[in-house]
Amino acid sequence: MPREPDAGASGYGGIVMERLRGLLLHIGVICSCVCIIAKVLDWYNPFMDFTGHVWYMQIALYFAVILLALIKKPKKRFL
């Protein structure tokens, strides 16, 4: 049964936004794990400077979180 045109995640735009939201969520989780692992490795061996080598992952994490916050689903408010 097709969805209503005014439904929340209907049509092509809704599907794209859902996939983009999922992609950004996965990017955020992967970048967070990499940054945590680099911090732990720096704790064991500070001379290797792992956190200095993952700065691009931190930038990707920041952008993913900001974009995820901008495209989040608005909550329906009942008065």
pLDDT (tens digit, 9 = 90+) per residue, 28-42?
Answer: 999 999 999 999 999
- For the chain, how many helices (H) and strands (E)? 3, 0
Query: Is the pLDDT reported for residue 6 higher than 50?
Result: no
pLDDT (tens digit, 9 = 90+) per residue, 11-70?
Answer: 566 788 889 899 999 999 999 999 999 999 999 998 988 888 899 989 999 999 999 888
At 1 the pLDDT is 52
Q: What is the pTM of this model?
A: 0.70
Q: Which residue type occupies 35? A: C
Question: How far is the C-alpha of 29 from the C-alpha of 64, rounded, in Å?
Answer: 10
Query: Structural domain boundaries of the chain?
Result: 31-71
At 30 the pLDDT is 94
